[in-house]
Amino acid sequence: MMGQKYCLTSAQWKYAQACLTLAKRFGLIDDDSPEALEKRCAAKNAETVAAERNGQVTYGTRCYNIAAYLQYELTRFRLDFVEPSDRIRALGVCPDFTAEETRAFYDANRDLFTRYFNDSFSYDEVRLIIEKRLREEVYDNLVQDILCESQNR
């Protein structure tokens, strides 16, 4: 089973495939196949080796196994949407939220915005976090749409 190679359950693998498909639709990757994922992983590892050989300072993971690289990509794709990259902004798929929408989320979820001693963060302190959270919901809905498409085939 393919998911085992990536240390994922069958359901997690389907979700990961849907995320890869969404990334392809957004133009973040050219190919959403497992083979292309493995090629991108090898290229990323080769890039790090070459940088180290050239005496460049490198940060983060030096050599990805395929499971770790998949998680790296899935996180990167989500972040490209949540903190919209220029490419995502240009597509027009990432929503902006009004002050009323973010304020409504804040008012409905005040329990999410408390400190250790139960005092609350102000709306202004967490407005950007709320926008990111709302974009995460949009991203997850887009992935769910892809999962529904694959079930309806």
For the stretch 100-125, pLDDT in tens is 999 999 999 999 999 888 899 999 99
For the chain, give me the number of helices (H) and strands (E)? 7, 0
CA angle centred on 14, ends 9 and 17, rounded to 5°: 125
* Sequence letter at residue 147: L
Which residues have C-beta within 8 Å of that of residue 140, sequence separation ≥ 6? none
Rounded to two decimals, the pTM is: 0.87
Q: What is the pLDDT of residues 11-26, one digit of tens each?
A: 999 999 999 999 999 9
Using CA atoms, how far apart are residues 139 and 130, in angstroms rounded to an integer? 14
